[in-house]
Amino acid sequence: METKLWLPTTENLKSAGKILRDGGTVAFPTETVYGLGANALMPDAAKKIYLAKGRPSDNPLIVHISDFSELEPLVAEIPPVAYRLAEAYWAGPLTMVFKKSSLIPLETTGGLDTVAVRFPAHPVARELIRLAGVPIAAPSANASGRPSPTATEHVIEDLNGRIDAIIDGGREGVMGLESTIVDVTTPTPTLLRPGFITPEMLLKVTGELETDRVVAAKSVQEAGGEGYVPRAPGMKYRHYAPRSPLTLVSGSGEKVISYINEKTVALQKEGKRVGVIAAAETAPRYLGDEVKAVGLRTREDTIAKGLFDTLRAFDSLKVDAIFSEVFFDNGLGLAIMNRLLKAAGYSLMIL
Ligand code: TXA
Ligand code: MG
């Protein structure tokens, strides 16, 4: 099929809304990453998403709404804590898991009796959902397994010819990591995926918080081993991985730089090409063939914004191995390290 590439004019958003309502697929910007939308109430529309992405169909989709009032029909109940979280962080990069109502087909939830709902803040996403007039199921708009898209070019790279339209909203207002997911069906709210709404921010509202073991895991074992099924099923799949093996190196700054440079020189002697992912502050110190500054260590939001772009960039650069610095693992850093560790398949060298 021919994929239309549209700027977010009112006229184009109306046409895209109609495509969605009628069962088609449209990629659009949100404040986290680009999403691939389809009508959440139509079982066949969800199937089109799975097909376009090459995604396993037991991985449930997040349902997006454009107003709080659209939540009630989709869920069996709204626990008090969900009202408080919505009050504090909606519209915004927070997804909540509820018991689903019968309106939501099992195709959308990967067979689960719960549904994840998000109310995005990005003006283009909100307007598109409003004009579609139906709730919109939308995973990240990448081919399954690849880093989530933070720009229109990434969506074109992965999905051109496989979906009906792409709304080109540029990079403006795209923060770069997927939403925080919290399950509010449990007695204590449970963090299933870390994101911009940090544990500290959640605790301020909920007073208590459990955390699924995959969230802060530093190894496959800590993540529950190969057989463990995380409560957000998508967290189990190998994800974001660049095509060349990625190793994270942790330790005091100078040690990390010497270690990576020694490894680099040794590999280069064997005729290999080496990539390095580093903070902008230390990037000039590396000897790798391709050194990418992902963002400023002192500004974690810039690392969040650059991370997926950097991982993706390495797929078109010919390197045999990639080394990366690690970042703080609290606050927003928890989300950054969660994505980096998954990209590395938990390959972490501690000096
Ligand atoms: O920021 C985001 O959330 C982006 C934008 C497009 O909104 N969407 C996104 O969707 O990241 P996706 O499909 O790439 O990730 C959805 C995650 C998966 O890990 C999935 O398993 C989990 O949400 N999920 C969806 N429904 C769930 C449910 N009912 N219970 C537990 N986890 C669920
Ligand atoms: Mg995804």
pLDDT tens track for 278-326:
999 999 999 999 999 999 999 999 999 999 999 999 988 999 999 999 9
Most ligand 1 atoms within 8 A of CB, residue of 95, 128, 167, 179 to mutate: 95
Minimum mean pLDDT range among 149-153, 219-223, 263-267: 219-223
Write out pLDDT tens, residues 109-128.
Answer: 999 999 999 999 999 999 99
Most ligand 1 atoms within 8 A of CB, residue of 30, 36, 62, 236 to mutate: 62
Q: Given pLDDT bands bounded at 50, 70 and 90, which one contains residue 100?
A: very high
- Cα of 149 vs centre of ligand 2, distance in Å, is 9
pLDDT at 103: 98
pLDDT at 237: 59
Write out pLDDT tens, residues 25-84.
Answer: 999 999 999 999 999 999 999 899 999 999 777 789 999 999 999 999 999 999 999 999
Q: Of 169, 82, 83, 73, whose CA–CA distance to 126 is shortest?
A: 169
Give the ligand 1 atom nearest the CA of 178.
1
- Cα of 133 vs centre of ligand 2, distance in Å, is 24
Residues with Cβ within 8 Å of 266's Cβ and at least 6 positions away in sequence, in order, are none
Q: Which two tokens stand for residue 340?
A: 């980096």
Question: Residue 99 pairs with which residues in a beta bridge?
Answer: 114
Q: In terms of DSSP bridges, do strands 348-350 and 180-183 run parallel, antiparallel, or are they unpaired?
A: unpaired
Write out pLDDT tens, residues 241-260.
Answer: 788 999 999 999 899 999 99
Residues 7-34, mean pLDDT to the nearest whole number: 98
Residues with Cβ within 8 Å of 286's Cβ and at least 6 positions away in sequence, in order, are 257, 260, 261, 264, 276, 278
Q: Of 117, 124, 148, 146, whose CA–CA distance to 30 is shortest?
A: 124
Residues 147 and 116: their CA atoms lie apart, in Å, by 21
- Does 96 contact ligand 1 (Cβ within 6 A)? no
Q: Which ligand is nearest to the CA of 239?
A: 2
Residues 324-336, mean pLDDT to the nearest whole number: 94
Residues 150 and 174: their CA atoms lie apart, in Å, by 6
- Does 192 contact ligand 1 (Cβ within 6 A)? yes
- Does 32 contact ligand 1 (Cβ within 6 A)? yes
User: Do residues 248 and 348 lie in contact, with contact meaning Cβ atoms separated by under 8 Å?
Assistant: yes
Give the ligand 1 atom nearest the CA of 34.
6
pLDDT at 238: 66
Residues 40 and 73: their CA atoms lie apart, in Å, by 12
- Does 97 contact ligand 1 (Cβ within 6 A)? yes
For ligand 1, atom 18, name the residue with the nearest CA.
Answer: 234
Q: How far is CA 132 from CA 40, 116, 179, 235, 240, in A?
A: 11, 19, 22, 29, 30
pLDDT at 346 over 70: yes
Residues 244 and 190: their CA atoms lie apart, in Å, by 34
What one-character-per-residue DSSP string does 77-142 give?
Answer: ---HHHHHHHHHH-SSSEEEEEEB-TTS-TTTTTT-SEEEEE----HHHHHHHHHHTS-EE--BSS
The number of angstroms, rounded, from the C-alpha of 214 to the middle of its chain's C-alpha atoms is 15
Q: Which ligand is nearest to the CA of 126?
A: 1
Q: How many other CB atoms are found less than 10 A from the CB of residue 195?
A: 24
For ligand 1, atom 17, name the residue with the nearest CA.
Answer: 234
Write out pLDDT tens, residues 191-200.
Answer: 999 999 999 9
Give the ligand 1 atom nearest the CA of 95.
3
For ligand 1, atom 10, name the residue with the nearest CA.
Answer: 139
Q: What is the pTM of this model?
A: 0.97
Q: Which two tokens stand for residue 49?
A: 């998403």
pLDDT at 233 over 90: no
Residues 164 and 282: their CA atoms lie apart, in Å, by 43
Residues 238 and 217: their CA atoms lie apart, in Å, by 14
Give the ligand 1 atom nearest the CA of 141.
6
User: Do residues 136 and 25 lie in contact, with contact meaning Cβ atoms separated by under 8 Å?
Assistant: no
Residues 41 and 106: their CA atoms lie apart, in Å, by 10
For ligand 1, atom 22, name the residue with the nearest CA.
Answer: 232
Give the ligand 1 atom nearest the CA of 61.
25
Residues with Cβ within 8 Å of 322's Cβ and at least 6 positions away in sequence, in order, are 242, 244, 245, 246, 247, 274, 275, 276, 277, 314
Q: Which two tokens stand for residue 266?
A: 């040794």
What one-character-per-residue DSSP string does 241-302 give?
Answer: --SS-EEEEESSHHHHHHHHHHHHHHHHHTT--EEEEE-TTTGGG---SEEEE-S-TT-HHH
For ligand 1, atom 32, name the residue with the nearest CA.
Answer: 232
pLDDT at 225 over 90: no
Residues 172-188, mean pLDDT to the nearest whole number: 97
pLDDT at 288: 98
Residue length of the chain: 351
- Cα of 1 vs centre of ligand 2, distance in Å, is 23
- Cα of 267 vs centre of ligand 2, distance in Å, is 33
Residues 169 and 182: their CA atoms lie apart, in Å, by 27
